[in-house]
Structures are given as structure tokens and as C-alpha cells.
Structure 1
Amino acid sequence: MRAPAAGLAAILVALAGAGAAQDGEGAGAEARKALDAAAGALEAPLDAARDAAGAAADAAREALPLAQPPGVAAQEAEAQADPLDAEGAGRSIVAALSQNRVSITADFSGSQIFVFGAVKRTAPSDEPLQVIVTIAGPSAPELVRRKDRVAGVWANTDEVLIDEAPSFYAVASSHPVEEILSFREDLKHRIGINQLVSLLYLPEGVAEPESFREAVIRIRRNEGLYVELPRAVEVVEDTLFAVDVNLPANLVEGDYRARVFLLGEQEVQDVFETDIAVRKVGLERWLYALSRESPAAYGLLSIFIALTAGWGASEVFRLMRR
């Protein structure tokens, strides 16, 4: 408090000097100097007070840690308890595919994907190795119609839109899926076929809408597009694994997704994922692109080929009759 008092005293002295020196310019200059000195005397203690207040605030922040929002704390706790944490589970999976690209040519009759890998352990474990391998094709909505006899004629009566259905799906496992995977994990990772073909909204006025979803699965199973291979994954010494997955000839072009799941106590401990590009090449690709990009030219080409083939066949038969 001494410094502010001294500053006030200096101001009073300066004011007195200014009043006494109204008749002279030199005395006025001395009064202005006295006022500047008094202002400096006041600014020094104010700066010191600000510095002290800032130091006290920094000390309070260090003593009291900032509290995290409840949502952030919950997310951190969930991340720490994530079963896919390889360090917590003590095991992780390393896998690869024999090929990541399938070419569809004019004489394409199917292909085969060889999936193999190993388990990396960071801690000793006596838990048996359980592996599930899945390959899924592009998904798209599917409109399913039900036929019934109306006035003696078969006609479409009801229809249901399946929200999502993969064009191809294969699931291979070291043991039956229902024995090594819990329903909660199956629902979370969508491993089983029943979890991939989804009917989110039940239409009104349609009897047994669930039967339409079951019909999609049944038909594609019969066509070889939905394949289940229990006990097909070969496990060697609880470390190595391998499986062959056959791809049919009626594949749909697009990006396919391959996943390898490492399981323990009916829970997913680690996942390996990669893409498989299925593309048409050669003449198949050229005709497909022409039909999409230039439908008029594609139609004229089809007519020309049909006329040429018909004329050529007629000439062959004419020569054979001679």
C-alpha cells in the first residue's frame, strides 16, 4: 500500500505546483513532468497486482484437474474394455488371400480364393483357436413378389422390398458358427446369413412378410450364391489356419469384402479385412460398357450379328444340300 500512497502524494504535489505556476510557462512544464512521474508510480503497483493474480489462477488450475464430460469418459471406458483390443486378449490375427482380383471373361466358370494365416500371441494361452472366414459380395435392395392363383391364372399378388441382401455370401468356420459365436457378437458383426439379409420395415396388409426374406435366402442357396461351410477352416497346432472358398460362375461385378474373425469364449477378439475386386475383362467388359454407355450402338450391333449369323447358317445349309 505504500507505493499507491506515494503516487497519490506526488499527484497532489504536482497539482499544487500547476496551480502556483499558472503565470509561467516554465513552471507549467515542471508540473507536467511531476504528473508523468506520478502516473508511472501508480502503473507499477497495478502491474504487480495483475502478475500476482495470474500466478494464483495458474496455481488453482494445476491443483484442480479439469473434469471430463460424461460422454468422453464413457467412450474412453468403452475403448479400454473393447474385446477387439489385441493386447487385452493376448492374441491377434495375421491373414492373407491367394488373390485380390477376379477377372470375369467370356469363358469364366468360377474361381477359388485361398485364405490362410496365423495367430500372433503376445501372452501364453491355452485357449483353442476358432476362426470364421466370410466373403460378401455387393449388397442391394431386392424386390420379392408372391404369386397366387387368381381366377385360374397365376399372378403376382403381394410384394415386399428386402432392404439389403448381398449378391454373394460365403461363411466358413472351424466349427459350426452357432457353437463358437454368441448371438450378441453375431448381431454386432453381422456374420451369419440371417443377419445380412435384412427386412427393416414390415409392410402393412401382407401376410407373413418374414417369409419373403426367407425366400431370398432359400433361392440364393439353391443357386450357390449363399454358402455355409462349417468345419471347413483347417487349424494346425492352434496357430495356423487355411480354407478354400469357391466362387460361382454367376458372380456380380463389384467389390467383395473378405473378413477373418479370431474368436475366443464366443466373442470376437480380432478381425482382418480386405477387398476383392471382381471385374469383367476383355470382350465381356467391352460389351458391358457398350450396352451401358451407347445403348443404340449396342442394339444395332446385336441386330447386325443376328442377321449375319442367320445368313451364314442359311448358306451353310444351302451348300450341304448340293
Structure 2
Amino acid sequence: MRFGLALLLCLLAAGPAGAETLVASLSTSQVRITSNYTGSQIVVFGAIERDAQTVARAGPYQVVVTVRGPRQAVTVREKSRTGPVWINGPQQKFVQIPAYLGVFASAPIADIATPGQRGRLRIGLQASVNAPDITMDRGTEDDRFREALARLKIKELLFIEDERGTTFLTPSLFRTPVPLPVTAPPGDYEVDVTLFADGVLLARAGTSFEVIKTGFEQRLAEFSTEWAALYGLGTAAVALLFGWLATVIFRRD
């Protein structure tokens, strides 16, 4: 009895087996949108730390960096043509979909994680768009709406998947450039970094940054929110003024 208790105490004192630790940092924690903003880029840096008890891995490390922008609701409508007129047909509403979604891997995602891991961890555009909680599940009927959502976002450069977007500088140091197009909305952006080896998830780390408007753009945004009625009247007045000036300038006698 005493021997068993002593063995248990020794095992507890030994602690858990050593494993990799993942550390992630950003080149900047804030991206500012000014009047001459044409897009930007941040860089995710990462380091894999090992201790003396970390077991050797048969294959190299693989990393997937996922950047998710502020959540939004999006409605995808299917249009049909009736004679010369296009009318709205069936539609599907997506809730809590990232306004920006970037996936940057060190190798093809299918070679890094299993389908179950990709679905559970939301790794890859397909896994994120096909997640069951972003829209009402109607079986195969909503497949075309999910595909249309991904296609439109990719066209707007707001959904990106780059299977060579993460580069290892050394066997334990990596960097990931993250492009932010001019259409990237302001808000908080989450960065999720996952570390794999031999098809096994070893570690996970997270960080974040924000995109904010500054200067005149910020003041205008605040005014349009706090004084919506005045902002609307002012916009209409400016439109009428420019319309009148156009008629005066281009008027033919």
C-alpha cells in the first residue's frame, strides 16, 4: 500500500511529458485607415519552443495561420431572369460570418490535417464556409449558397487561402505575411495559429490586432452614427448641390 502511494507521488511530481510550445507575435497590433489608404499588410511571426523532454518528430513541423475579421450577417440571393427583368429568387442568410478570412499554411492543408481536424478547428475556407452554425442547415439545398458566398468573398479579396503563405525561416521559426485589402472593414481581427506534425495537433496560439479609421474618416464615421438624421440630410443636400452645378456648367444655350 505504501509502495503504491509512493509511486503515485513520484508520478505526480514528475509532471506532464514535455511537448512543444507555440509563441506568436505580430509586426503591429493596429492598422490605421487614412484618407490615402490603399491596403496594408501585417506579418505574423512564430516560434516553436521545445524542452529537454520533447519527443522527436518523424516529420517536419507544419503551421496554419487563420485570420478572422469582425463578424457580420450576409444574405446571399439567387436571381432568376424573367424576360428582360432579373428578379430575386431563393435566398440564404449567413450569421456570424467573418468579414475577412485569411488562411495561410506551410503546406497543402489536406496534407497537414485530417478532414475531421479541419472541420473541428475551422481550418481552411471550405471548413469555415461549411460550418453548420453559420446558417440554417437545409442539407444539399444550401450548398450553392455557401459556394456563392465563398466565390463572392474571394472575388472581393476578403477570403484568401494560400497553402504556401507561411514560410519557415529555421526549423522552429516562421513568418506569415497577411495582406489586408482596401475593402477590409474596421474592427477586431483574431489570429489563430495551429502547429501540426505527423498529422497530430501539437499546439495552438492566438493573438489579435485591430483595424481602425483615423482622421477625417473616423470623425465622419462617428458623425454618421451619432447624428444619422443630419448626416442623411447633409448627404442629400450635397448631392442636390452638385447636380445643380452640373446643370449650370454643362448647360447649352
The answer to whether the 8 Å contact 2:20/2:49 transfers is yes
The answer to whether the 8 Å contact 2:40/2:182 transfers is yes
Instruction: Give the AA of the match of 1:130.
Output: Q
1:231 aligns with 2:160: no
Which structure has more RCO (C-alpha within 8 Å, separation ≥ 6)? Answer: 2
Report the 3-state secondary structure (helix = DSSP H, G, I; strand = E; otherwise coil) of the residue aligned with 2:157.
coil
Report the 3-state secondary structure (helix = DSSP H, G, I; strand = E; otherwise coil) of the residue aligned with 1:191.
coil
What is the root-mean-square deviation of aligned Cα atoms in Å? 2.4
The answer to whether the 8 Å contact 2:44/2:175 transfers is yes
User: Structure 1 pair 182/89, CA: closer, same or farther in 2 (3 Å)?
Assistant: farther
Q: 2: CA distance between counterparts of 1:181 and 1:219?
A: 26
Q: 2: CA distance between counterparts of 1:168 and 1:104?
A: 16
User: Structure 1 pair 88/142, CA: closer, same or farther in 2 (3 Å)?
Assistant: farther
Q: Deviations over 1:77-99 (max 9, x none)?
A: xxxxxxxxxx6462111121001
Q: What is the Cα deviation at residue 215 of structure 1?
A: 0.3
Q: What is the Cα deviation at residue 194 of structure 1?
A: 2.0
> Which of 56, 63, 70 pairs up with 1:138?
70
Q: What is the Cα deviation at residue 202 of structure 1?
A: 3.5
Residue 153 of structure 1 corresponds to which residue in structure 2?
85
Q: Which runs of 5+ in 1 are unaligned?
A: 1-86
Q: Which runs of 5+ in 2 are unaligned?
A: 1-15
1:193 aligns with 2:125: yes
Residue 266 of structure 1 corresponds to which residue in structure 2?
199
> Which of 146, 150, 156 pairs up with 1:217?
150
Residue 43 of structure 2 corresponds to which residue in structure 1?
114
Name the one with the larger strand percent: 2
Alignment of 1:230-249 (within 5 A): 230-249=163-182
Name the one with the larger helix percent: 1
Q: What is the Cα deviation at residue 255 of structure 1?
A: 0.8
Q: 1: CA distance between counterparts of 2:187 and 2:166?
A: 26
The answer to whether the 8 Å contact 1:129/1:235 transfers is no
The answer to whether the 8 Å contact 2:124/2:161 transfers is no
Q: What is the Cα deviation at residue 302 of structure 1?
A: 2.5
Q: 2: CA distance between counterparts of 1:242 and 1:285?
A: 31
TM-score, structure 1 normalization: 0.65
User: Structure 1 pair 155/277, CA: closer, same or farther in 2 (3 Å)?
Assistant: same
The answer to whether the 8 Å contact 1:102/1:277 transfers is yes
User: Structure 1 pair 93/160, CA: closer, same or farther in 2 (3 Å)?
Assistant: same
1:175 aligns with 2:104: no
Larger radius of gyration: 1
TM-score, structure 2 normalization: 0.81
Report the 3-state secondary structure (helix = DSSP H, G, I; strand = E; otherwise coil) of the residue aligned with 2:147.
helix
Identity %: 33
The aligned length equals 229
Q: 1: CA distance between counterparts of 2:79 and 2:240?
A: 38
